[in-house]
Structure 1
Amino acid sequence: MKMEENNKHVQPNSKEEGVQRLNRILSESLIKATDTYKTPPQIIWVDNSSIATLGNFSASTGKAKAKKTFNVSALVAASLANGKVLNYRASLPEGKRKILYVDTEQSRYHCHNVLERILKLAGLPTSIDNENLDFICLREYTPSVRIEVIDYALAQDQSYGLVIIDGIRDLLLDINNAGESVEVINKMMEWSSKYDLHIHCVLHQNKGDNNVRGHIGTEMNNKAETVLVITKSTTNPDISEVKAMHIREKEFKPFAFTVNEEGLPEIVEHTPEKEEGDKQPSRFTYQDLTSEQHNEALTAAFKEKPIKGFDRMVEELTQAYADIGFKRGRSVIIKMLKYLINEQKLIVKRDNHYYFGYTPAEIDLFHEEE
């Protein structure tokens, strides 16, 4: 009897609290004609086109090995220096000069390399911690913990003006879960608005097409202020191109960069690639690829296993070489396969199997087991 009386007492209060909460949200959300709002401060530009404002979020996308993190390093360095790096020009206002860089994918060693690269690009010493740059590695944690840590960090320091999330996919358990995707994008909008900062996210493109991966990619395209796409040049795999996939401001002229001997991105003169469907120049052949580029593509194609069958071999080569920027048709890939077998001796063919990175003894053993 007493329990029932307690429940009766709690329920009205809970309902009243819910009503008060909704009234507060409704009041805060109401836009009036008599209200005045300041134009959101622009903080990052490419040439004279604004790509980032406080209170919004943007993204970079591209296929694997397109040098997305090199591109983001330049964007962060420009913001840290309040100057220009590559074609990015940045100016963070007083009180919003700090940057939070969140990496969800790489090891601490590789995160430290990115941190050093940013400092070098900004013209700052690498032997001293910079008070305006916080770099955190969340690789070993679950998606929910990553979100919780970011939320806590932003609540603790109101001087962040730019937040980088390198690997937004890792804030979800399932990249194709529509509900999860909406929740994460809502978090981006909540953080950017609540703390008056700009968030720039990094997300991969699909291997088979130029679409951003999963439901999270669809939501990002719909809600982001700017989406940059970084692609490897098909005429020179050492060059990466940057252009706007979506932008609210006027579109900027695409630019290109390469990575110099010091491991830093630098601008190069380069004719922008034609859109897919246009005839691409074929000056750059498979014979012009370096041994490192061949090894990178072949490692990805074989995945440390033999490949059975000619057609499958051609399919794997086509995809792997496209991923490093050498996108060619079937006839060229077939010629390259012969070149890799007969001239370069990188691929060994035995019966209907193809091998890469195997010793003759290992190949013999494989055939005995078959």
Structure 2
Amino acid sequence: MNKEPKTMSENEESMESRLEQILNDALIKATDTYSVPPQIIWVDNSTIATLGNFSASTGKAKAKKTFNVSALVAASLSNGTVLNYRACLPEGKRRILYVDTEQSRYHCHNVLARILKLAGLPTDMDNQNLDFIGLREYTPAIRMEVIDYALAHNHGYGLVIIDGIRDLLLDINNAGESVEVINKMMEWSSKYDLHIHCVLHQNKGDNNVRGHIGTEMNNKAETVLVISKSTTNPDVSEVRPLHIREKEFKPFAFTVNAEGLPEIAREHTCEQQSKAKSSRISYKDLTEEQHREALSAAFKEAPIKGYENVVQALMAAYEEIGFKRGRSIIAKLLQYLVNDLKLVIKKDKIFFYDMTPMEAELFSDNDNE
């Protein structure tokens, strides 16, 4: 008995047709011609953003990342210069979508007002070229769907900001989720011919971008900017390229003025990243505020038992504020904190930060028993 030849099901035919179409669309021929991606944002003469690509800003908590992004958006909204960002979005691509996944509506509104002020636009009326949406209360899947829907149904976007890309994932260290989100960034930027700028935190213990999503972003992004607090002036934030395809720009610094707006810190000189320059900054040059910030992170409102344990905790905490040093320097720093600044108190093998009078009295009573 002859067997009838196997026929493809409708699903198999549909899949084969789809793969054939993708293969044809992906084929790059020597006879093809492609235009250079339009450049839309610069720092000095270095291109940091082009249409069809994505970039990112990163930094530790309180480094003023959102202030920095506000300046970048304001420059793009006004097609002018804000801080050191110069922007020129082409006709038909003047609209901006700002997506915030972290802050309350009240704080989102403050960011919106700041952007309009920086762009020299009225804050008591909506601007047709800026759409600001807050997605804090939604799940990662719904956030992704809303962004996808917005891009598909609203034409003219040239720049998309995702302030809190981490919130598009359930698990920041999930490799599969991270690849999926980064692929979505590449799909959206290419399909809709726009630029996406994402904001992501750095690790607390080092200067790496957080999680697997950070690794993917470093590998695929056109530009990654790092915003960090100055180690010599806690009121100043510095911006430098962590990764950039174009030539690197000279780091610049900004501070927040009395009106709550970022402005160039003209009297500030950015610290060089070289080891020689870094080594000239002593722990004695740090302000008390910087010491307290590091100590709060190291002690976490609890005493630390053991000399080696406190040294290791201080190494990690001081690195968080930009003061990365080896064990020998941190050991001298601990001695300085105990003997000179008296911010740390040592009793036997236990170290206390800001011990209250009640704690001191209690510990003294225990010593006398």
TM-score by length of 2: 0.85
- Secondary structure of residue in 1 paired with 2:278: coil
Distance of 1:334 and 1:314 partners within structure 2: 6
- Secondary structure of residue in 1 paired with 2:76: helix
Task: Name the counterpart of 2:133.
Answer: 136
Q: Does 1:266 align with 2:252?
A: no
Q: Does 1:188 align with 2:185?
A: yes
Encode CA deviations 1:256-293: one digit per residue, 9 max, x unaligned.
22222332222224434333533425456547514x44
> In the alignment, is the contact (CA less than 8 A) between 1:96 and 1:160 conserved in 2?
yes
Q: Which moved more, 1:59-68 or 1:49-58?
A: 59-68
Task: Name the counterpart of 1:156.
Answer: 153
In structure 2, the gaps of 5 or more residues are 1-5
Q: Does 1:202 align with 2:195?
A: no
Return the match for 1:119 from 112, 116, 121: 116
Amino acid at match of 1:18: M
Q: 1:136 to 1:251 in 2, by over 3 A?
A: same
Task: Name the counterpart of 1:48.
Answer: 45
Return the match for 1:255 from 246, 252, 259: 252
Task: Name the counterpart of 1:319.
Answer: 316
Task: Name the counterpart of 1:175.
Answer: 172
Task: Name the counterpart of 1:303.
Answer: 300
Give 1:298 deviation, angstroms: 3.2
Number of aligned residues = 359
Encode CA deviations 1:147-203: one digit per residue, 9 max, x unaligned.
111111111211211111122122222222222221111100100011111001112
Give 1:99 deviation, angstroms: 1.2
Task: Name the counterpart of 1:4.
Answer: none
Amino acid at match of 1:280: S
Distance of 2:285 and 2:273 partners within structure 1: 25
- Secondary structure of residue in 2 paired with 1:44: strand
Return the match for 1:289 from 287, 291, 296: 287
Q: 1:249 to 1:205 in 2, by over 3 A?
A: same
Q: 1:109 to 1:311 in 2, by over 3 A?
A: farther
Q: Does 1:226 align with 2:213?
A: no
Give 1:335 deviation, angstroms: 5.4
Return the match for 1:108 from 96, 105, 108: 105
Q: Which moved more, 1:324-333 or 1:145-154?
A: 324-333
Amino acid at match of 2:191: K
Task: Name the counterpart of 2:3.
Answer: none
Q: 1:327 to 1:107 in 2, by over 3 A?
A: farther
Give 1:331 deviation, angstroms: 5.4
Encode CA deviations 1:284-331: one digit per residue, 9 max, x unaligned.
6547514x4444333322323333333323333333233233445555
- Secondary structure of residue in 1 paired with 2:232: coil
- Secondary structure of residue in 1 paired with 2:212: helix
Root-mean-square deviation (CA), in Å? 2.9
Amino acid at match of 1:120: K
Task: Name the counterpart of 1:27.
Answer: 24
Task: Name the counterpart of 2:238.
Answer: 241
Amino acid at match of 2:146: V
In structure 1, the gaps of 5 or more residues are 1-7
